[in-house]
Structure 1
Amino acid sequence: MNTSATAPNALPIVVIGAGPVGLAAAAHLRERGLTPLVLEAGDTVAAAIRDWGHTRLFSPWRFNIDDAARRLLESGDWQAPNPEILPTGHELVDDYLTPLAAALGEVIRTDSRVIAVSREGIDKTRSADRENTPFLVRIAHSDGTSEDVAARSVIDASGTWHQPNPLGRSGLPAPGEAEAAARGLITKPLPAVTGVDRDRFADRHVLVVGAGHSAANALLDLAAVAEDEPGMRISWAVRSPDVSRAFGGEDRDELAARGALGSRLRHLVESGRVDVHTSFVITGFETTGEQLRVHANGPDGAEELVVDVLVPATGFRPELSMLAELRIDLDPAVDAPRGLGPLIDPEFHSCGSVPPHGERLLAHPEPGFYIVGMKSYGRAPTFLMATGYEQVRSIAAALAGDRTAADTVHLELPETGVCSTDLGGSCDVPAGPIPVTIGGAPASSCCS
């Protein structure tokens, strides 16, 4: 596409990712009279959520629906779900995101994976008239073709789901990790333990690695399977010297489902149904026939576990290579926008302690470019969808020239009941099916 003849302000605002935050961005832009173009890598909207759709969110519907999206949907015949019910990922897609995509219409393009973002005709070293030069967004399609799209601004809401953290020490994959995954001895994150993947775990020795919500989800589901499989063994490995922080705020958590998860996990550990390995730092993997030999440094030196399958639950990190030609400014610790990083560092902040933030805090040296949603939190695990909705509301206001609205940010998040947390993954989801009293539903991302 030749963009040089098109005035930047006449171009669309490209939103990368058609998850909850990406679609909310499109709704806010449309409401402001701006033209969004949503580019989704998958063949449907919210493709990443469909991967973990069998799990249930911690947060009820009242936290999961964006205001501009609601106004757009309610202009038709859409009926809002019960605000106190906790939806599964599939319900989030079917009852909210799919109708929202239909209401937004042709501004959404699927099978459009963004592989690079730059400026038309210039690389990141060129400064002259940069802010007036259109963005160039390069897209790859599943048939092997590619195309370039011009944009006035770019909002990256692509999430982190496809970029899980490695299992090895020092933030690096352990020797043998790729081979073990290729042979199916290491699963993908959030397998359907009690569903379609059940036979993969029944009567096996299963190791869960990680100390977050996803790990708790897997452990509780595995324990449920083990009730009918007496030969099954469950091990849990964490890098910390104890697992107590993984229990979270329990009855002090304002999201009852999230608190109940920690309480059930504590009971599971204290009952001895799970073999816990603390200070367990993986140094390598060996495949021995149909089993996996896990080498680690433990509290007393070298340690080894032989298991049938390993479930990784070590969190996610942002994919940044597609932004290599942009001038972005990231916090050196968590890979979030520099101003946001210190506010979300998981060593100091839980979901409920993150202050409201909007366009000014999310801006980069690249004018008109923003990272939002789960990806805006970089490697920090404490993201809630409601945070992303306020982010894109503020950004849409700024792009429309309404500085007052952009700078007036409001956000009330449910407290976790802990001062800080190392729980991995989004605080919305997933955390596994557990019985709670909210709306009579059982309870449990990423969300982009």
Structure 2
Amino acid sequence: MAEETLKKEDTLAMRLKLIGQSCRLFYSEDPVKIVRARGQYLFDENGKSYLDCISNVQHVGHCHPAITKAAAAQMELLNTNSRFLHDNIVLYADRLASTLPEKLCIFYFVNSGSEANDLALRLAQQHTQREDVVVLDHAYHGHLKSLIDISPYKFRKLAGQKEWVHVAPLPDIYRGIYREDHPSPGQAYADTVKHLIEEIQQKGRKISAFFAESLPSVGGQIVLPKGYFSKVAEYVRSAGGVFVADEVQTGFGRVGSHFWGFQLQGEDFCPDIVTMGKPMGNGHPLACVVTTKEIAEAFTANGVEYFNTFGGNPVSCAIGLAVLDVIEKEDLRGNATRVGTHLKDLLKKLQAKHDVIGDVRGVGLFVGLELVTDRERRTPATKTAAWVVKRLKEEDQICVSTDGPWDNVLKFKPPMCFSLENADLVVRCIDRILTDVTANDLKLENEDI
């Protein structure tokens, strides 16, 4: 392979010269050069292994043999424009439909989560003949311009908020306006959306859609309070809008108990549009939008053909089918439940030991560890979180990253083959690092390092 013929310092020098500097690397001060991977492990140019707690894209494990075999076999046979008739796309759509509520039955295949969310926005606006969108604070829905416009995480750093975009409070029961001691946080946060819709209508505007990640990730690995989606959907639909669930980060069984994150909100809840992406192709660019017949018919009625040259091509769909097979055959949803529960239990025990741990939250293999300098005030411990990430990488060869509005949440979204032993190791190493921080009285937030 060409990349292995270069020394690490040469690769880095060429990257600095040739690749846009806004395309940042993990561990930018001392990046890891990865030349191969398998399962939940990454290997650098010297053969050193790193435990991967980051790569939710390689959903069933890096370079899974069943996936690479399916990809190679189909690539040898046929890969062509998706406008030719082919079995794979319909077989794959049928398999996906079996995991979803019955009314979600019309599929549009694309190449990335950003493409999926852009198309979902078009579907909603075409169906309702309206423009306005309600999103959650700190949300991120993709890198296309249309999605930057509905992603507070991005637009607050750029051109600002458009008049047709409206931001509702993030339903974060740890540090939001309604917290864990509230008797009904789901209803309380849903009512903030209701009041926002009323304000929008008083301005003479009408909403087309409510967009939300089923489990807000960039917002800090947030698990939404029960009942929130159902009540929000009720308010949105009564105002003539549709409900879009963004499953780009959380779909395909990551939550363990269910195939989709939105299903955590109850069997009676069903979005009008669902978008999916990252884990879908196990690293191959594959994404999708699924919606109802009514919304799809409105999209068709505009008279403009929709086609996507590569979306749903035979190779992509062969890979997608193989991913579904592996999830089932290897009981990866069961593994997510078992390992995720074990990981959370261990982290909660760590919380009792270390005051810097303010909150442990998550479901399945979607887990967040929020660090604070003061438990009462819940002050974000941003630099401490960065220090833990740095030391995990340098001392233990464990790759973890941070998220949340203040980058103080250690996030865990590993490949779904992550094991009980992996969880034990990660928590043991975090314990050692936090113990060292306390023992040496390192005041990291004051840069005493």
Same fold flag (TM > 0.5) = no
TM-score calculated relative to the size of structure 2: 0.29
**Structure in which a larger fraction of residues adopt helix:** 2
TM-score calculated relative to the size of structure 1: 0.29
